[in-house]
Amino acid sequence: MGIDPRQIVAGVLTATMFLMLGNMIKRQHFDAPISHHVRSTQSFDDNKDLDRSFVVNGDRAWKEESDALKPCWSKSVLDEPEESKGFVTFSLTNGPEYHVSQIADAVVVARYLKATLVVPDIRGSQPGDRRNFGDIYDIENFVTSLDGVVKVVKTQPAKLSSENLAVLRIPNRVTEEYITENIEPVFKTKGNVRLATYFPSVNMKKGVAEQEEKVSVGCLAMFGTLVLQPEVREVVDSMVDRLKTLSRKSDGEFVAVDVRLDMLDKKGCQGSKKCYGPQEIALFLKKLGFDKNSAIYLTQSRWDSSLDSMKDLFPKTYTKEGIMPMEMKQKFLESDSSEYEKVIDFYVCSESDVFVPAISGLFYANVAGKRIGLGKTRILVPDSDASPSASVGHYVSRYVSKKNHMAYSCFC
């Protein structure tokens, strides 16, 4: 029995219609606009508006790290500072995530006032808890890095006292307008000022176009002045190396997670979803497909039973006391000050293969800036509102996916 030509034509038309329909469905799925609405309850890193390349190609794109970036700032564009007209003093407080911002503000102010900057001391959270700058940072590198930008002295001159030092509270990322209106008049009257930076908000995003000199000075101060002194550098390197070795079965990668149990009950972690506990982070990493042999470093200083849920899924989970070389523990873990521990956390998180900020705030923001400069852009931020089928790329930090961190103004 012969085939009716009309049946052949009908079959071809039907196949064509199904093919066209399939293409339309595919196009609607991949080309649909990404929602930019703002949720009433936001996580601390709302990733709803990621670049499409991170969403569609998420599993591939997030793994692509670049080489360490080069500084865009240039000391050559800065004139030699004029003869000093007074002194600017300040202290570093609360941990390295604050230090980089406090340094930047002090250098910008001293440069604007044409004043001499006094190398700061480091003060802890407890009364009387004070360290020399050189206990943690390389003081010679600090002074040398600012040569030609501001004049720096290592110790506070004896002639300075509380009587001739005006103490001024200044907002983080201080502007030239603020300096002109609020700092310069006091400096001209008293001759010297002591700065105390406060943080009205966590703002590490790229700002609007600013004067080139201020950007250069701020970038240099934030990213080019602080280097760990050799003994602290050694303990960080030893911990990073050991974590990489322990993670050999997962291609030598390790994950640093900023999770501190004392922070979870504080006001900043209540209400909108800004903090995640150990069990939530463990399930998050498992969902994203991290190998159970991955080494996990937690910023929580001492082991707590609430961390057991993470160790159940990732047996190679450690706090500082479990990963630090025995001979280094007495100095860096058993001292009365927690400053060493904070510094170690900051630099291990900055240099890990992957960083997961379980807590919002300045630590996350400044670790992200450090990592961007190093080319270590694998920063994954939890999102409790994400779809169960969301790719890894959905969780890439918006600082990276949108390149809106101020570090992108400093590095290229």
CA distance 204 to 407: 8
Angle in degrees, CA 142, 145, 146, rounded to 5: 90
Alpha-carbon separation of residue 363 from 36, 44, 65, 260, 350 (angstroms): 27, 13, 21, 12, 10
Is beta strand 130-131 parallel, antiparallel or unpaired with respect to 121-123?
Answer: antiparallel
Band of pLDDT at residue 254, cut at 50, 70 and 90: very high
C-beta pairs of 337-343 under 8 Å, 24+ apart in sequence: 337/124, 337/126, 337/129, 337/131, 338/124, 338/125, 338/301, 339/95, 339/122, 339/124, 339/129, 339/131, 339/136, 340/136, 340/232, 341/301, 342/95, 342/96, 343/95, 343/96, 343/136, 343/228, 343/232
Of 248 and 233, the structure prediction assigns the larger pLDDT to: 233
What tokens does 200 get?
């009205």
Give me the mean pLDDT over the 377-398 stretch: 89
What tokens does 399 get?
């600082």
Q: Whole-prediction pTM value?
A: 0.82
For 130, the enclosing helix (H) or strand (E) is strand 130-131
pLDDT at 161 over 50: yes
What domains appear along the chain, each with residue ranges and CATH number?
52-69+229-410 (3.40.50.11350), 75-223 (no CATH)
Give 168-191 pLDDT, tens digit per residue. 999 999 999 999 999 999 999 999
Backbone angles phi, psi at 380, to 5 degrees: -115, 125
Give 103-143 pLDDT, tens digit per residue. 999 999 999 999 999 999 998 777 777 889 999 999 999 99
Band of pLDDT at residue 79, cut at 50, 70 and 90: low
Q: Which residue has the tokens 């101020």?
A: 406
Of 159 and 295, the structure prediction assigns the larger pLDDT to: 295
